[in-house]
Chain A
């Protein structure tokens, strides 16, 4: 009897151990693609993924960091041959395209409801179609934020940052010297997205009307006038000297006021830790409607993945579970990148972070609006309209040309009536 009991015990032990042994020896492998950003950014996510793999949850994540320049080609090529990454990160305003083209999985059945409820409403709206969430945000960013040199302001006798567009022009002129420009303007290649908040500040529209059935370029016209006035006053370089994502033009002392995203903050602090500068909301036409656009990044699960549950497990652990897991990222970003979850916001308040910067960013974020989700070509044509006016083309002629083209795009792409938020 004792012999049989021992045998039974052994069999039971084996039965208990076998799944664990199998899970340990053959974890499900996930391919994760992430955009390549700063070194510290890559190091953070690499470390987190190593920690996840070390937990032996039956999933092994293989991460690859890909530069933005190569990203689209890599992704399209992978989709073409069906060898897609299981999880990848994408811009917040691209997620609904993925939902429409059914290239991303809805997450509602894969993530606990409390993780979805934890998202900030503005961010959740950018990721939700027909009540389904298609991506889980890792961070949000604000564009633009005004960085300004306090020493140069003081030298010019200016006490506070400009609040209106008239003041902006006036300040830019005052601050311009033979070696320093008063302000920067976005380059032609970045104009299409960089002008979103400026257009919105004029009359709470981007380039389309409320139901996206027709162009609405009133805001664009005012932005073009502002930019043209700044250029005419030689208060900004006639041609952008670097991308808006580069901090060196500001840290090298070329500008007194520099408009760029919140993401520039860690770069500025790294390149010039002693630079006397401060942060302020971007001026608005009348000084009361300052707006930044909310952008950022989300992880999505590809619709062709063989392992949706495992992908969701990784995504949940990394972004949606313990606040500290993703929360420790934001202090590294010097609060230039912000959380997308209420619980992480609360957690950050208890941490040793620069509360003044956090408060300034939260103040800008409080009036931020999501970037528009209409087709990119429409943004490009709106920016062409702005450029045309800046280049001296008659406004009515420019309007006739670019409004007609935007209408054509609306008709071709069936944009009317598809506004998601």
Chain B
């Protein structure tokens, strides 16, 4: 079936046998890089995960011990739970806020909308390290802008990053804010590409605003949502920099993500590397399973056709 489709596609675009060779030739640099920097290191990593080793000691075969040890480690298990918690909070929150923001921008005058887009996108341009540092200034207990404001309004200073619930809320809100610019532009582009005739026809049929949203806008935006859902899920599962700079994974490992756990282990001098690699491989499997699950529940026909 796939072969038939391929032949049909080739015929449609007028490809000759010689062109296919050129196509492979042009693909080859990317394939070689993929082989060198992804496939070979992956195979090597799988092999090394069965050894207890460092850059100095002779490797010692330990079978599945590295995998068992890392699964027994509470911090690693906690990091996986945290990642899932971040996915179920950050992904829907990110999708809803960016959609609503993008939708609002289509309804306001163009110049104001352009300003809003630029202003919101600005944090995305700066590196997350810079943004984390900025956020730390805002949330600082003693001299942070937010606490100064709270005190000026007669309230008591709040701890934003050293209690589990507050630290999680801070991290979720800050990450959502940082993703607002990129997500909103994506939604804005999707929204303005919906043909206005659809809405005109619906108006003639007496549809109200909510009905237009449910029956026209949301279905037309389906692929944007799918793309954003996959991006946000992957990004959230691999989140490293924000918790590293804002909370260091604490308090009580409540913001420890799998990537941060692995990074912290990798840079420790008192452990061997096999367990860290085993953790990385397990994280890869975990992310693949979650993404597979996301694909399965979304099932976008358009994206399959595309």
Residues of A within 8 A of B (CB): 72-73, 75-76, 79-80, 82, 94, 97-98, 101-103, 187-189, 237-241, 249, 254, 303-304, 375-377, 380, 384, 387-388, 391, 401, 405, 408-409, 412-413
Contact = CB atoms under 8 A, between A and B. Distances in A.
Contacts of B268: 72, 376
30 contacts: A73-B267, A80-B55, A82-B55, A94-B269, A94-B270, A97-B269, A97-B270, A98-B269, A101-B56, A101-B272, A102-B56, A103-B56, A103-B269, A188-B251, A237-B141, A238-B157, A239-B141, A239-B159, A239-B161, A240-B141, A241-B142, A254-B142, A376-B268, A376-B270, A387-B250, A391-B251, A401-B74, A409-B73, A412-B72, A412-B73
Interface residues of B, number: 33
Nearest to A392: B163
A303 B56 contact: yes
A103 B164 CA distance: 38
B171 to A, nearest CB: 14
B244 to A, nearest CB: 11
List 9 A-B pairs, minimum CB-CB distance, nearest first. Answer: A72-B267, A239-B141, A241-B142, A79-B55, A239-B159, A97-B270, A189-B248, A103-B56, A188-B250
Interface in B18-70: 54-57, 69
Contact of A408 (B74, B162, B247, B250): B74
Contacts of B163: 391
Contacts of A376: 268, 270
Contacts of B73: 408-409, 412
Given A101-B269, A188-B162, A304 B56 contact: yes
Contacts of B272: 101
Interface of B: 54-57, 69, 72-75, 140-143, 157, 159-164, 247-248, 250-253, 266-272
B270 A241 contact: no
A421 B57 CA distance: 24
A75 B54 CA distance: 13
A222 B73 CA distance: 26
B156 to A, nearest CB: 9
A103 B142 contact: no
Contacts of B269: 72, 75, 94, 97-98, 101, 103
Nearest to B140: A241
B72 A103 contact: no
Give the most central of A97, A101, A249: most B CB within 10 Å: A101
A387 B161 CA distance: 13
B38 to A, nearest CB: 17
B162 A187 contact: yes
Contact of A189 (B142, B160, B250, B271): B250
A250 to B, nearest CB: 13
A241 B56 contact: no
B157 to A, nearest CB: 7
Contacts of A80: 55
A375 B269 CA distance: 10
A412 B69 contact: yes
Given A75-B269, A304-B56, A408-B73, 14 more contacts: A79-B55, A79-B56, A80-B55, A82-B55, A97-B269, A102-B56, A188-B162, A188-B250, A237-B142, A239-B160, A240-B162, A380-B75, A384-B252, A391-B163
Nearest to A81: B55
A391 B270 CA distance: 30
B242 to A, nearest CB: 15
B74 A405 contact: yes
A76 B271 CA distance: 12
Contacts of A98: 269
Nearest to A411: B72
B126 to A, nearest CB: 18
A285 to B, nearest CB: 25
B100 to A, nearest CB: 33
Contacts of A405: 74-75
Contacts of A82: 55
B54 A103 contact: yes
